[in-house]
Amino acid sequence: MEASAGMSETQLGRHGPVVGPLGVGCMGMSPGIYGPVDEAESIATIREAVEAGVTLLDTGDFYGMGHNEMLIRRALDGLPRSRVVISVKFGALRDPAGGWSGNDGRPAAVKNFLAYTLRRLGTDYVDIYRPARLDPGVPIEDTVGAIGDMVRAGYVRHIGLSEVGSPTLRRAHAVHPIADLQIEYSLMSRGIEAAILPAARELGVSITAYGVLSRGLLSGRVPAPDVKGDLRVIRMPRFQPGNLERNLGLVDALGRIAKEKGASPAQLAIAWVRSRGADIVPVLGARRRDQLREALAALALSLDGDDLARIDAAMSPSQAAGARYDAAQLAHLDSEAHP
Protein backbone atom coordinates (compact mmCIF):
# COMPACT_ATOMS: atom_id res chain seq x y z
CA MET A 1 0.00 0.00 0.00
CA GLU A 2 1.21 3.50 -0.82
CA ALA A 3 1.14 6.06 1.98
CA SER A 4 -0.06 9.49 0.93
CA ALA A 5 -0.36 13.09 2.07
CA GLY A 6 -3.47 11.96 3.96
CA MET A 7 -1.32 10.11 6.53
CA SER A 8 -2.54 10.35 10.11
CA GLU A 9 -0.99 13.05 12.24
CA THR A 10 0.11 13.21 15.83
CA GLN A 11 1.12 16.05 18.12
CA LEU A 12 4.48 15.78 19.83
CA GLY A 13 4.01 16.56 23.51
CA ARG A 14 1.15 18.65 24.84
CA HIS A 15 2.17 21.79 22.96
CA GLY A 16 4.60 20.52 20.32
CA PRO A 17 4.40 20.35 16.55
CA VAL A 18 2.01 18.12 14.64
CA VAL A 19 3.87 15.50 12.58
CA GLY A 20 3.06 12.54 10.36
CA PRO A 21 3.12 8.94 11.64
CA LEU A 22 6.74 8.47 10.61
CA GLY A 23 9.75 10.78 10.51
CA VAL A 24 12.84 10.52 8.36
CA GLY A 25 16.27 10.77 9.98
CA CYS A 26 18.95 12.05 7.63
CA MET A 27 22.09 10.99 9.53
CA GLY A 28 23.04 8.15 7.17
CA MET A 29 22.97 10.57 4.23
CA SER A 30 26.26 12.14 5.36
CA PRO A 31 29.65 10.52 4.82
CA GLY A 32 31.54 8.74 7.59
CA ILE A 33 28.51 7.24 9.31
CA TYR A 34 27.06 4.35 7.35
CA GLY A 35 29.65 4.09 4.58
CA PRO A 36 29.37 5.59 1.10
CA VAL A 37 26.59 8.08 0.39
CA ASP A 38 24.81 9.18 -2.76
CA GLU A 39 23.79 12.85 -2.53
CA ALA A 40 21.43 12.82 -5.49
CA GLU A 41 19.61 9.79 -4.07
CA SER A 42 19.54 11.38 -0.60
CA ILE A 43 17.93 14.54 -1.96
CA ALA A 44 15.44 12.54 -4.01
CA THR A 45 14.57 10.53 -0.88
CA ILE A 46 13.92 13.62 1.23
CA ARG A 47 11.80 15.18 -1.51
CA GLU A 48 9.80 12.01 -2.08
CA ALA A 49 9.25 11.71 1.68
CA VAL A 50 7.87 15.24 1.88
CA GLU A 51 5.69 14.66 -1.19
CA ALA A 52 4.33 11.51 0.49
CA GLY A 53 3.31 13.50 3.56
CA VAL A 54 6.30 12.99 5.84
CA THR A 55 6.80 16.18 7.82
CA LEU A 56 9.37 15.33 10.51
CA LEU A 57 12.99 15.47 9.32
CA ASP A 58 15.73 14.85 11.86
CA THR A 59 19.33 15.99 11.64
CA GLY A 60 22.31 16.94 13.82
CA ASP A 61 24.72 19.80 13.18
CA PHE A 62 27.57 17.31 13.71
CA TYR A 63 26.34 14.79 11.09
CA GLY A 64 29.05 15.24 8.49
CA MET A 65 30.01 18.43 10.38
CA GLY A 66 27.39 20.63 8.76
CA HIS A 67 27.03 18.49 5.63
CA ASN A 68 23.68 17.04 6.70
CA GLU A 69 22.06 20.41 7.29
CA MET A 70 23.31 21.76 3.97
CA LEU A 71 21.99 18.65 2.23
CA ILE A 72 18.56 19.15 3.78
CA ARG A 73 18.60 22.77 2.67
CA ARG A 74 19.22 21.68 -0.93
CA ALA A 75 16.54 19.00 -0.73
CA LEU A 76 13.94 21.47 0.53
CA ASP A 77 14.81 24.15 -2.00
CA GLY A 78 11.59 25.58 -3.45
CA LEU A 79 9.30 23.91 -0.93
CA PRO A 80 7.35 26.05 1.56
CA ARG A 81 9.18 26.06 4.91
CA SER A 82 5.92 25.20 6.66
CA ARG A 83 5.78 21.79 4.92
CA VAL A 84 8.41 20.36 7.27
CA VAL A 85 9.17 20.06 10.95
CA ILE A 86 12.95 20.16 11.25
CA SER A 87 14.49 18.60 14.35
CA VAL A 88 18.13 19.53 14.98
CA LYS A 89 20.50 18.04 17.54
CA PHE A 90 23.49 20.04 18.69
CA GLY A 91 26.31 19.91 21.21
CA ALA A 92 28.56 17.11 19.97
CA LEU A 93 32.09 18.43 19.50
CA ARG A 94 34.12 17.32 16.49
CA ASP A 95 37.68 17.79 15.31
CA PRO A 96 39.01 18.31 11.79
CA ALA A 97 39.83 14.61 11.43
CA GLY A 98 36.20 13.74 12.19
CA GLY A 99 36.89 12.66 15.78
CA TRP A 100 34.54 13.24 18.70
CA SER A 101 35.63 15.26 21.72
CA GLY A 102 32.67 15.54 24.06
CA ASN A 103 29.52 17.61 24.35
CA ASP A 104 28.94 21.28 25.01
CA GLY A 105 25.64 22.38 26.54
CA ARG A 106 26.71 25.78 27.89
CA PRO A 107 24.19 28.56 27.18
CA ALA A 108 26.65 30.56 25.03
CA ALA A 109 27.46 27.40 23.06
CA VAL A 110 23.75 26.69 22.50
CA LYS A 111 23.28 30.09 20.88
CA ASN A 112 26.49 29.73 18.85
CA PHE A 113 25.51 26.28 17.52
CA LEU A 114 22.05 27.58 16.63
CA ALA A 115 23.39 30.60 14.74
CA TYR A 116 25.43 28.34 12.46
CA THR A 117 22.60 25.85 12.03
CA LEU A 118 20.16 28.53 10.91
CA ARG A 119 22.66 29.72 8.33
CA ARG A 120 23.41 26.22 7.03
CA LEU A 121 19.73 25.27 6.83
CA GLY A 122 18.87 28.61 5.21
CA THR A 123 15.95 29.15 7.56
CA ASP A 124 15.09 31.61 10.29
CA TYR A 125 13.79 29.03 12.76
CA VAL A 126 14.29 25.44 13.86
CA ASP A 127 11.12 23.53 14.74
CA ILE A 128 12.63 21.32 17.48
CA TYR A 129 16.06 22.00 18.93
CA ARG A 130 17.70 19.49 21.25
CA PRO A 131 21.04 18.69 22.87
CA ALA A 132 22.27 15.41 21.38
CA ARG A 133 23.69 14.29 24.71
CA LEU A 134 23.62 15.61 28.24
CA ASP A 135 26.71 17.71 28.95
CA PRO A 136 27.69 16.39 32.41
CA GLY A 137 29.39 19.69 33.19
CA VAL A 138 26.31 21.86 32.68
CA PRO A 139 23.00 21.62 34.57
CA ILE A 140 20.24 20.65 32.14
CA GLU A 141 18.28 23.64 33.46
CA ASP A 142 20.94 25.96 32.00
CA THR A 143 20.99 24.27 28.59
CA VAL A 144 17.21 24.13 28.29
CA GLY A 145 16.94 27.66 29.70
CA ALA A 146 19.17 28.90 26.87
CA ILE A 147 17.03 27.11 24.26
CA GLY A 148 14.01 28.68 25.97
CA ASP A 149 15.60 32.10 25.36
CA MET A 150 15.84 31.15 21.70
CA VAL A 151 12.16 30.12 21.68
CA ARG A 152 11.20 33.51 23.07
CA ALA A 153 13.39 35.20 20.47
CA GLY A 154 11.62 33.26 17.68
CA TYR A 155 14.60 31.20 16.46
CA VAL A 156 13.30 27.91 17.88
CA ARG A 157 9.70 26.67 18.05
CA HIS A 158 9.94 23.69 20.44
CA ILE A 159 12.44 21.96 22.71
CA GLY A 160 13.34 18.29 22.61
CA LEU A 161 15.85 16.06 24.35
CA SER A 162 17.88 13.07 23.26
CA GLU A 163 19.04 9.99 25.17
CA VAL A 164 18.38 11.35 28.66
CA GLY A 165 16.95 9.44 31.60
CA SER A 166 13.78 10.28 33.49
CA PRO A 167 15.38 12.45 36.24
CA THR A 168 16.92 14.71 33.59
CA LEU A 169 13.69 14.72 31.59
CA ARG A 170 11.75 15.87 34.66
CA ARG A 171 14.24 18.63 35.48
CA ALA A 172 14.24 19.89 31.89
CA HIS A 173 10.46 19.77 31.60
CA ALA A 174 10.15 21.89 34.75
CA VAL A 175 12.08 24.67 32.98
CA HIS A 176 10.28 24.53 29.62
CA PRO A 177 7.77 22.04 28.11
CA ILE A 178 9.60 19.26 26.29
CA ALA A 179 7.89 18.17 23.07
CA ASP A 180 9.66 14.87 22.56
CA LEU A 181 12.48 12.69 23.75
CA GLN A 182 14.46 11.18 20.89
CA ILE A 183 15.79 7.82 22.03
CA GLU A 184 16.63 4.39 20.67
CA TYR A 185 13.67 2.02 20.77
CA SER A 186 13.19 -1.16 18.80
CA LEU A 187 12.46 -4.84 19.13
CA MET A 188 16.12 -5.23 20.12
CA SER A 189 16.45 -2.16 22.37
CA ARG A 190 13.58 -1.89 24.79
CA GLY A 191 15.44 -0.19 27.64
CA ILE A 192 13.03 2.78 27.80
CA GLU A 193 10.09 0.63 28.86
CA ALA A 194 11.00 0.36 32.56
CA ALA A 195 11.33 4.01 33.63
CA ILE A 196 11.80 6.46 30.76
CA LEU A 197 8.61 5.75 28.79
CA PRO A 198 6.39 5.86 31.91
CA ALA A 199 7.97 9.19 32.94
CA ALA A 200 7.53 10.63 29.46
CA ARG A 201 3.89 9.58 29.46
CA GLU A 202 3.29 11.08 32.88
CA LEU A 203 4.75 14.40 31.68
CA GLY A 204 3.02 14.31 28.29
CA VAL A 205 6.31 14.09 26.38
CA SER A 206 6.27 12.10 23.12
CA ILE A 207 8.94 9.64 22.08
CA THR A 208 10.61 9.96 18.70
CA ALA A 209 12.17 6.54 18.34
CA TYR A 210 15.39 6.01 16.42
CA GLY A 211 17.27 2.82 15.63
CA VAL A 212 13.88 1.25 14.94
CA LEU A 213 15.67 -1.15 12.59
CA SER A 214 18.63 -1.45 14.96
CA ARG A 215 20.65 0.44 12.33
CA GLY A 216 19.43 -1.81 9.52
CA LEU A 217 20.05 -5.12 11.30
CA LEU A 218 16.33 -5.81 11.61
CA SER A 219 15.93 -5.56 7.84
CA GLY A 220 18.30 -8.53 7.50
CA ARG A 221 20.41 -6.49 5.06
CA VAL A 222 23.73 -5.61 6.64
CA PRO A 223 26.82 -3.74 5.43
CA ALA A 224 29.62 -5.73 3.82
CA PRO A 225 32.43 -6.46 6.31
CA ASP A 226 35.00 -4.62 4.15
CA VAL A 227 32.96 -1.45 3.56
CA LYS A 228 34.89 1.76 4.35
CA GLY A 229 33.65 4.42 6.80
CA ASP A 230 30.71 2.47 8.21
CA LEU A 231 30.50 2.86 12.00
CA ARG A 232 28.37 -0.26 12.23
CA VAL A 233 31.23 -2.39 10.93
CA ILE A 234 33.91 -0.39 12.71
CA ARG A 235 32.48 -0.30 16.23
CA MET A 236 28.84 -1.23 16.78
CA PRO A 237 28.70 -4.40 18.93
CA ARG A 238 25.67 -5.98 17.24
CA PHE A 239 27.44 -5.94 13.87
CA GLN A 240 30.66 -7.56 15.07
CA PRO A 241 31.55 -11.10 13.94
CA GLY A 242 29.88 -13.66 16.16
CA ASN A 243 27.19 -11.28 17.36
CA LEU A 244 26.10 -10.50 13.82
CA GLU A 245 25.42 -14.12 12.92
CA ARG A 246 23.42 -14.64 16.10
CA ASN A 247 21.40 -11.49 15.52
CA LEU A 248 20.69 -12.37 11.90
CA GLY A 249 19.38 -15.70 13.18
CA LEU A 250 16.83 -13.76 15.24
CA VAL A 251 15.91 -11.67 12.21
CA ASP A 252 15.28 -14.91 10.28
CA ALA A 253 12.68 -15.89 12.86
CA LEU A 254 11.13 -12.44 12.56
CA GLY A 255 11.17 -12.80 8.79
CA ARG A 256 9.05 -15.94 8.96
CA ILE A 257 6.32 -14.08 10.85
CA ALA A 258 6.63 -11.11 8.48
CA LYS A 259 6.24 -13.36 5.44
CA GLU A 260 2.94 -14.72 6.69
CA LYS A 261 1.71 -11.14 6.91
CA GLY A 262 2.95 -10.25 3.45
CA ALA A 263 5.56 -7.93 4.94
CA SER A 264 9.33 -7.66 5.27
CA PRO A 265 11.13 -7.98 8.62
CA ALA A 266 11.85 -4.23 8.51
CA GLN A 267 8.15 -3.50 8.10
CA LEU A 268 7.32 -5.77 11.02
CA ALA A 269 9.90 -3.94 13.15
CA ILE A 270 8.39 -0.57 12.23
CA ALA A 271 4.85 -1.78 12.88
CA TRP A 272 5.96 -3.16 16.26
CA VAL A 273 7.28 0.24 17.39
CA ARG A 274 4.10 1.92 16.16
CA SER A 275 2.03 -0.63 18.08
CA ARG A 276 3.53 0.60 21.37
CA GLY A 277 1.46 3.79 21.40
CA ALA A 278 0.31 6.81 19.46
CA ASP A 279 2.80 8.92 21.41
CA ILE A 280 5.73 7.06 19.83
CA VAL A 281 6.80 8.23 16.37
CA PRO A 282 9.45 6.18 14.55
CA VAL A 283 12.22 8.22 12.93
CA LEU A 284 13.52 5.97 10.17
CA GLY A 285 16.99 6.30 8.74
CA ALA A 286 15.80 5.78 5.15
CA ARG A 287 18.48 7.09 2.82
CA ARG A 288 17.22 5.69 -0.46
CA ARG A 289 13.80 5.85 -2.07
CA ASP A 290 13.32 2.08 -2.01
CA GLN A 291 13.91 2.10 1.77
CA LEU A 292 11.52 5.02 2.18
CA ARG A 293 8.80 3.20 0.23
CA GLU A 294 9.31 0.07 2.30
CA ALA A 295 9.00 2.13 5.49
CA LEU A 296 5.90 4.03 4.33
CA ALA A 297 4.18 0.82 3.29
CA ALA A 298 4.67 -0.46 6.86
CA LEU A 299 2.13 2.14 8.00
CA ALA A 300 -0.59 -0.09 6.56
CA LEU A 301 0.53 -3.08 8.66
CA SER A 302 -1.26 -3.65 11.95
CA LEU A 303 -0.37 -6.29 14.50
CA ASP A 304 -2.87 -8.09 16.74
CA GLY A 305 -2.22 -9.66 20.14
CA ASP A 306 -1.32 -12.98 18.61
CA ASP A 307 1.20 -11.36 16.24
CA LEU A 308 2.76 -9.45 19.13
CA ALA A 309 3.12 -12.58 21.24
CA ARG A 310 4.80 -14.44 18.40
CA ILE A 311 7.12 -11.50 17.72
CA ASP A 312 8.06 -11.39 21.41
CA ALA A 313 8.87 -15.09 21.36
CA ALA A 314 10.96 -14.70 18.19
CA MET A 315 12.91 -11.71 19.46
CA SER A 316 13.09 -10.72 23.09
CA PRO A 317 15.70 -8.02 23.78
CA SER A 318 17.67 -10.37 26.03
CA GLN A 319 18.34 -12.54 22.98
CA ALA A 320 20.15 -9.75 21.10
CA ALA A 321 23.90 -10.30 20.98
CA GLY A 322 25.81 -7.12 21.80
CA ALA A 323 24.82 -3.78 23.30
CA ARG A 324 23.27 -0.98 21.27
CA TYR A 325 26.47 1.10 21.45
CA ASP A 326 30.06 0.32 22.35
CA ALA A 327 31.32 1.08 25.86
CA ALA A 328 32.81 4.49 24.97
CA GLN A 329 29.53 5.71 23.48
CA LEU A 330 27.39 4.16 26.21
CA ALA A 331 29.37 6.23 28.72
CA HIS A 332 27.83 9.39 27.21
CA LEU A 333 24.25 8.18 27.64
CA ASP A 334 22.38 9.69 30.58
CA SER A 335 19.55 7.32 29.60
CA GLU A 336 21.74 4.35 30.51
CA ALA A 337 23.40 5.83 33.62
CA HIS A 338 20.25 7.34 35.17
CA PRO A 339 17.22 5.86 33.41
Ligand X SMILES: NC(=O)c1ccc[n+]([C@@H]2O[C@H](COP(=O)([O-])OP(=O)(O)OC[C@H]3O[C@@H](n4cnc5c(N)ncnc54)[C@H](OP(=O)(O)O)[C@@H]3O)[C@@H](O)[C@H]2O)c1
Structural contact between residues 98 and 65, judged by C-beta atoms closer than 8 angstroms: yes
3-state helix, strand, coil in the chain (%, to 5): 45, 15, 40
Instruction: By CB under 6 A, tell whether 212 contacts ligand X.
Output: yes
Within 127-146, the residues that bind ligand X by CB under 6 A are 132
Residue 158's beta-bridge partner residues? 128
Instruction: By CB under 6 A, tell whether 284 contacts ligand X.
Output: yes
State the nearest-atom distance from the C-beta of 70 to ligand X, in Å.
15
Within 100-129, the residues that bind ligand X by CB under 6 A are none
Locate the DSSP E strands across the chain.
Answer: 10-11, 18-19, 23-25, 56-60, 85-90, 92-94, 100-103, 126-131, 156-162, 178-184, 206-210, 280-284
Span near ligand X by CB under 6 A; candidates 22-30, 145-153, 195-203, 322-330: 22-30
State the nearest-atom distance from the C-beta of 158 to ligand X, in Å.
16
Instruction: By CB under 6 A, tell whether 26 contacts ligand X.
Output: yes
Of 55 and 182, nearer to ligand X (C-beta) is: 182
Residue 60's beta-bridge partner residues? 89
Instruction: By CB under 6 A, tell whether 221 contacts ligand X.
Output: yes
Binding mask 222-261 toward ligand X (x if CB under 6 A, else -) reads -x--------------------------------------
Q: Is residue 116 annotated as a catalytic residue, yes or no?
A: no
Instruction: By CB under 6 A, tell whether 160 contacts ligand X.
Output: no
Q: What is the C-alpha separation between 255 and 249, in angstroms, rounded?
A: 10
Instruction: By CB under 6 A, tell whether 214 contacts ligand X.
Output: yes
CA 107 to chain centre: 24
- The residues, ordered by sequence, that sit 6+ positions from 172 with a Cβ below 8 Å of its Cβ are 140, 141, 144, 159, 161, 164, 178
Residues that bind ligand X (CB under 6 A): 25-28, 34, 58, 89, 132, 162-163, 182, 210-216, 219, 221, 223, 266, 283-287, 291, 294-295
Catalytically annotated residues: 63
